[in-house]
Chains A and B, each alone.
Chain A
Amino acid sequence: MDEDIEAMRDQFLNREFDEVKFEINGESFAAYAKACGETHPRFTDPSHEDFQAPPTFVSTLVGGRNLPGNFPRPKGVGMDAGKAVEWMAPIRSGVTLTGKSHMHDIYTKTGRSGRMIFLVRRTELYDEDNVHVANADTRTVIREKPSE
């Protein structure tokens, strides 16, 4: 592994850098469900006995900052490369979730156009009883500009 990436991993992986509260609104996640093509009433109908957010809804919960405050900005163009969700328990309307974010992974791939740095930010979501209900990962890829 490249030395600069190793140093970033040593300094930033698994260290919480952001905590934020999310008020979960059933109207919002029902709209999300309908827009995405969900048809089951447990996701779309607030009167359903098992009404809950679709698992992928947690990807819409964005924290206060994307990266640690002192994170070195690699030179290049950043893009959203993907999102992952781990679901552990249903998320209901009206709950307040706490999202705690850390850098989960930092790695590189090298293509024809040069090195790409992948930054994976994980937000762990907890309910009011501190039950861990989901993880939401955002994977950002930075295509490095060749040095001049």
Chain B
Amino acid sequence: MSDQVNTISDVEFGCELPSFNPDTSLDNVKYFGEFVGWGGPRFTDHEAARKEGFPGALVPGVMSQGFLGAMVHRWAPAADIIAIDTVFRAPVLVDQTHHITGVVTDIDQETGSVEIDITVSNEEEETRVFGTATAKLPTS
């Protein structure tokens, strides 16, 4: 991937990370539930989720947080994420297309630290999850 970065000197303030669409399919959420947890009906069964008052099955919040981490590593494979704060603003619905975008909001060239704002939005461009990550990249 040509837009990956390797060291802090590759990073520019305000640059946008390569965006991607996370896999929110029912099969992937079931796979997550099987191996990690959060396999309850509200996450793995649209009808059961509707009976609970949701518009459909939900992607677990811990999975959405994982999408944010993956975005940073896809962009900067050598980065260590040292902090990540995730705000769940609205449900991420299973089997609906979502899009993740990120932008660098701060850089410390000396320590190799970057701050990145990351947003998960749906097809209506409504923000569902918002997060801020601090990551350290190699300085040379």
The 17 sampled A-B contact pairs (Cβ below 8 Å) are: A28-B36, A31-B32, A35-B31, A35-B32, A36-B22, A38-B74, A39-B73, A40-B77, A55-B80, A55-B81, A56-B62, A56-B69, A60-B37, A62-B37, A79-B88, A80-B88, A85-B84
Is the pair B87, A86 in contact by a Cβ cutoff of 8 Å?
no
Number of A positions contacting B (CB below 8 A)? 29
Does A84 sit within 8 A of B, measured CB to CB? yes
Instruction: Report the Cα distance A40→B68, complex, angstroms.
Output: 14
Q: How large is the interface on B (under 10, 10 to 19, 20 to 34, 35 or more residues)?
A: 20 to 34
Instruction: Report the Cα distance A97→B94, complex, angstroms.
Output: 32
Does B127 sit within 8 A of A, measured CB to CB? no
Is the pair B69, A36 in contact by a Cβ cutoff of 8 Å?
yes
Max chain B Cβ within 10 angstroms of own Cβ: one of A28, A33, A36 = A36
B binding-site residues for A, Cβ under 8 Å = 20, 22-23, 28-29, 31-32, 34-38, 61-63, 65-71, 73-74, 77, 80-88
CB neighbours of A28 from chain B (8 A) = 35-36
Is the pair B20, A37 in contact by a Cβ cutoff of 8 Å?
yes
Select one of A35, A84, A86, A88 contacting B66, CB under 8 A. Answer: A35
CB neighbours of B84 from chain A (8 A) = 55-56, 84-85
Q: Which residue of A lies closest to B131 (CB)?
A: A82
CB neighbours of B35 from chain A (8 A) = 27-28, 31-32, 35
Instruction: Report the Cα distance A39→B87, complex, angstroms.
Output: 24
Is the pair B74, A39 in contact by a Cβ cutoff of 8 Å?
yes
Does A126 sit within 8 A of B, measured CB to CB? no
Write the nearest CB–CB distance from B64 to chain A, whole angstroms: 9
Q: Which residue of B lies closest to A135 (CB)?
A: B83
Q: A28-B36, A35-B32 are in contact. Are A82 and B69 (CB under 8 A)?
A: no
Is the pair B87, A37 in contact by a Cβ cutoff of 8 Å?
no
CB neighbours of B66 from chain A (8 A) = 32-33, 35-38, 54, 56-57
Is the pair A84, B69 in contact by a Cβ cutoff of 8 Å?
no
CB neighbours of A51 from chain B (8 A) = none
Write the nearest CB–CB distance from B35 to chain A, whole angstroms: 3
Is the pair B61, A40 in contact by a Cβ cutoff of 8 Å?
no
Is the pair B86, A31 in contact by a Cβ cutoff of 8 Å?
no
Instruction: Report the Cα distance A79→B77, complex, angstroms.
Output: 33
Is the pair A59, B65 in contact by a Cβ cutoff of 8 Å?
yes
Q: Which residue of A lies closest to B77 (CB)?
A: A40
Q: A31-B32, A39-B74 are in contact. Are A54 and B69 (CB under 8 A)?
A: yes
Write the nearest CB–CB distance from B56 to chain A, whole angstroms: 17
Is the pair B73, A43 in contact by a Cβ cutoff of 8 Å?
yes
User: Which residues of A (1-52) have their CB < 8 Å from a CB of B?
Assistant: 27-28, 31-33, 35-40, 43
